[in-house]
Structure 1
Amino acid sequence: MHGNTEAFESMFIARQPVFAPDESVWGYELLFRSGLDNVAIIGDESQATASVIADGLTLATDGLDSKARILINFPEELLVSDAGFALPKDRCVIEILENVRPDKQNLDAVRRLKGAGYVLAVDDFFGQEELRPFVELADIIKVDILALGTDRAHIESTLAGLPRDVSVLAEKVEDNETFNTLRDMGFSLFQGFFFSRPEIIPGRKLTAAETTRLQVLGELAKPDFEPARLADIIQSDPSLTYRLFRYINSAGFGLTKKITSVKRAIDMLGMVRVKQWLRSVILADLNPSPKAGELAYLAVHRAKFLESVCSFSNRQTCKADSLFMTGLFSLLDAMLGMSMNDILKSLPLEEDVVEALNGSGDFYDLLRLAATYERGQWGETAQRLKRLSLDSFQAELLYIQSRSWAQKTLGYSKAK
């Protein structure tokens, strides 16, 4: 497996959503990890970006809405070599990294891209005067909220100094309160993990439809679940039947003849795979909002990753199915606007799953590992892999395979 590390390296990327003020998904930023050693640091930004241009863009955007914008970091070397011209300008945003100086060579390169119709973004801006020449050419300014601090006057003065016609993106937005404040101040785009933090709505009760779906999820989690019940659940909902046929007849399965029977689909896929698919699509149906769609994708990706990592960890015993459930339910509080405690009351889950969802226990360690990948926190990722005696190469391969599985499983929602 290690014989093809170069090809693999170019594929490893995390992606983070960028939201519009109405919490719809505007696009994604791609984050790269270069190198397979335990110190997960991007040593050569140019090589990392070039690899993504060559291979990773297709991998990362597979299954995404074709209207979603993609932000890609551009270090100085790639900027001046005109590598940006390899990207589709109607889709990709060239993000000028904060350590690129606006000297004549770099400004000329940026002007060439601007003249060709590329959308330009300036990264990590918090008022640095030396970046002004780039700011004047940019379409998007990414303002580092953590660097500016919580001083509203400071944020407002930074905004006041920007050209009128630019879009201002608030990055590192970590909670809903900050998101709402910045939206009111005139920011037009938002990046950070505020969307995955629960915004508890006091007195919120589950609707009948939500209760039914959670009951089905709980039923699927039971060890004594009856196989015959699986076909009944799917056939009782025409939408589920249609989506199962669409899933199994997709190119990935390489079938020569179309499957049009639920029983045949279950026989072909097997109980475990159909249960995983069904859990995933039911979770995605819990909340139809664009933000919740992103949360569902994240949860399904986590679920498959945790299940996959299970067999490669240093644990004496490993419960793959329980880990799948842990990842799948880990963002339910954010999806439903309720406390995890209240949600768990309606789900008959094993104790170790409940512990993890409440922030403790062995499963929680693996849940945190998935979260560090999502955030591009490569240093912490390496530490957690070491503690779990997991090979970083193997873990990253599992992460990529899990992403592909999540995209195929939830493909119906991305095609809308």
Structure 2
Amino acid sequence: MLTPETSAAGPQDIAPLVRVGRQGIFTADGRLVGHELLFRGLSSDKAGDAAPDLRGQIEDQATSHVISATFGDFGVEELGGGLPLYINMTRGFLVGQLPLPFGPQNVVLEVLENIAVDEQLVDSLAQLKDEGYVIAIDDFTGEPHRIPLLAFADVVKLDLLCDQLDVDSLVDTVQAYAPKAQILAERVEDEATVQRCIDAGIELFQGYYFERPSVLETVRLSPSQLVCLRLMHTLADPHTSMREIESVVALDPGLSLRVLRTANSASSGLQRKVVSLRQAVVLLGPTMLSAWVALTLLGGVGGGRREDLVTILTRARACETVSGRCALDPSTAYTAGMVSAVAQVLRTDVAALVNRAGVGEDLAEALIHGSGRYGDLLTVLLNHEMGVGEATDFPMTPLELSQAYLRAWAWAQSMVASMFD
């Protein structure tokens, strides 16, 4: 249920999307208490056909993929909203062959039914429990060889669609070996099943009766793009020093080379070439650096990207220009226009982009909810772009606003030309 995708327009027209399926976990009275992340294992069909020694590697790769999306592309808070996230773990992660890229907070490690139970697994679960992780035993059907795992269980999951499942007997077994564990019924599809489970002593529920799986999606950003989001935040702070800007640019070698090359092109009239990144950062200044930020977020120059970059820089420059008439900080207004345009061009949720960029609270509210003075400014300019209505109580006439926007467009054209021509 986790897949990178592109739109029908083609891979160059939009950044790859990451989609993660999620299904809620509820109490009998319908209170949401957690989510299970659902994903189709990478090449799951191939994993079933592979030799035993390769099957685990393929499954670990699939789980690594979903973990990467969860804790890199989305973030725990975005997916769980403060509630526990249940994640299917493979043997490699549980026994320490692969490192867990998260701490125990708000995460439940599910031990799948196809994982071999041996001394190494038991010792590893004991260590994970000592470190504070919550353990769930998935699809327990009373198998004798899995009984030792109940000693570490905080949650035991029962698949109610499993043939010949004796719910009352299983509940008795779990309560005997793991009296403090909660029992969770999976694939609950009707009210009669809920009542039967309640009568048997089951506390937690998951299935279509309570909620069908939903799909969350976000744009997958490359390491360079993530560096650029950090740089966007740095450039938006008027108190940031050039040394701080240089340190962020230096995190991405490709961006550093572009900045140096552009600076040397811009300094062609000087006697000395630009030889250090600090010189380049000072020479180019925040405005040109922000243009490179936008370009890197777009992922390149081809596929109409130059036109997209003009769109982004035009809105950013227009916000900056008009901000003076609204008694707003020009650099903050520029960032507001830039982030909103980048989200539009990438066709991603602006809230997700804002969270990654780490912008200030006022700017975040403006971008996500259109609130505050910067939100008002963005609304006026977006309406102007779409030709919707005329701004009231705005310190510029429609003609002045159109002239400012045209000047911003001309500036953006010249900026893009200086970068590539």
TM-score range for the pair, normalised by the shorter chain length: 0.3 to 0.5
**How high is the TM-score relative to the length of structure 2?**
0.44
Greater CA radius of gyration, 1 or 2? 2
Higher RCO by CA contacts (8 Å cutoff, separation 6 or greater): 1
